[in-house]
Structure 1
Amino acid sequence: MPMEASEIERMIKTALPDAEVFITDLAGDGDHYRAQVISEAFRGKSRIQQHQMVYAALGGHVGGVLHALALETAPPETA
């Protein structure tokens, strides 16, 4: 059973409450998504650490129910 984009967003925002999350269904099949996540929690972290934080938020669903996830992460830009 595919994972809904709203569920992905909910799980990420539960772990990273300040996050801005943008989910795109890449194939229209509920299995291949792109997630753009912006959170202050990423500041000072490497890209790998940022991605690990998102994967942890998804609780092991990546590679299972959620077949593929292209991730873009960043802290908010400061003016």
Structure 2
Amino acid sequence: MPAEKEQIFKILESNFQGCKLDAKDMTGDKDHWEVHISHPSFSGKSRIEQHRAVMNVLTPLNIHAVSLKILSN
């Protein structure tokens, strides 16, 4: 089942409390997303560690493709 924007926001906000977040459906089919997220927990982590942290949280949503832009506060 495709992921809704609200689902993405809910799961990311519950795991990265206080994050700044934006998500855009790239193709209109709700399984290709561009996600921008900013949270202090990403500070000092490698890009791979940051991406793994976000993707581990998003895995239950069964999204086909995610483009991430991650910033630390």
Structure 2 CA distance for aligned equivalents of residues 27 and 35 of structure 1 = 13
The RMSD of aligned alpha carbons is: 1.2
Q: Which runs of 5+ in 1 are unaligned?
A: none
TM-score, normalisation: structure 2: 0.91
1:28 aligned residue: 28
Count of paired positions: 73
> Which deviations, in whole Å up to 9, do the C-alpha atoms of 1:4-57 show, x marking residues without a partner?
011011111111002111000000111110000100111111111111111122
1:61 aligned residue: 60
1:41 aligned residue: 41
1:47 is aligned with what amino acid?
R
TM-score, normalisation: structure 1: 0.84
Percent identity (aligned): 30
The structure where helix makes up a greater share of residues is 2
Structure 2 CA distance for aligned equivalents of residues 19 and 53 of structure 1 = 13
Deviation above 3 Å: which 4+ runs of structure 1?
A: none
2:67 counterpart of 1:70 = yes
